[in-house]
Structure 1
């Protein structure tokens, strides 16, 4: 029996041969699995690459769409800004024209002071006709500046100092021209007094009544004295000495 077992081992190559065969089979199995894993990895990489390519295409589309929208928005905003600049330039030209006219009119009024009263009045009357013709234009320029100022405030942007100085100068000259070149103090002093104004004097300094006959007693109205008796009692005694009749009458 032992001899048979030895013969079998000899025919089969012995234990080392068997182990070698098992290892070879295992290596082949592992090599196959490795090939399968590599194939799977390659297929996944292809899938990822395809997704990446599609995503890149979509991003390009979105980017192009966003660029187009941005271009349209910028174009619209550019048109808006250009329109505002055109309106502003037009307004500044009108403002300069009105300022030049007011300065010229102010100079004419000042020159007329060297004329006689009659000639000056005639010249001023002619100037005022021109003032009435330009009144609407001046008011429109001032109102447009007010609207521009409000618009700048809403956007928290200040109005340029140069433009503010021009408007200030225009308002001063327009006020001067519109009032015929007369100072404000002179206009106030020439105003008539109110009809309702009444100048009164104190009863104590009223004119004394005319003398009556020696036997007749003077008639003195005491209605106002009763209403002001408290004030009369507080007067110094020296005033009472000069009016004995009134004092005795009250007592």
Structure 2
């Protein structure tokens, strides 16, 4: 595997690291396709029950590598960049029936910010900032930024951030509901691992069904959502982990979930 994407699997947790620190982990075509493949591998691997997406160095991800789009020989064009790079990343993140944590270790800008916000749980340390940087170079938000951000923080604030390109601290992001939690820098890796391991030892199928419900809630009406809840609750109740969870509750012991 190319060094631009690193993968480590430990304790049922896959850690995917964006690894182009010299350009703040900005995406080129190779790295985008490698991330597609790595996410697919994690989805298919039964040993993986939770995923961490993070970056190496000072940045989580600065979005698109602008050197690629300004190089006449390398530039794939925005149509390919969006339809072949970023859109498939977002759809994979939302479709994988395993929890995905964005461990935002540094600046998350442009597509990098929106990839983080598409993850299931977004955690950042206190020195992180988020920037909808598109308008600052004459572009519009992509990578589902116009879908997730207004749903997370409200239409007015999301539109203002997209237009103004303000830098938002992790503390501000937590307060406005953009991210789940801000963690002090000195505890960041320890807390991320603790949350990931907890998720990896929970009933994986139920977590996948919860993710499916919340995905559909973005577009369903109330009746459709109630019907889907009923359908997926019946499915969850047929799993081995449900039987184990109930048995553990009755027996007053810690459940041993297998992800089945």
Q: TM-score, normalised by structure 1?
A: 0.23
Task: Tell me which protein shows more strand as a share of its residues.
Answer: 2
Q: TM-score, normalised by structure 2?
A: 0.22
Task: Tell me which protein shows more helix as a share of its residues.
Answer: 1
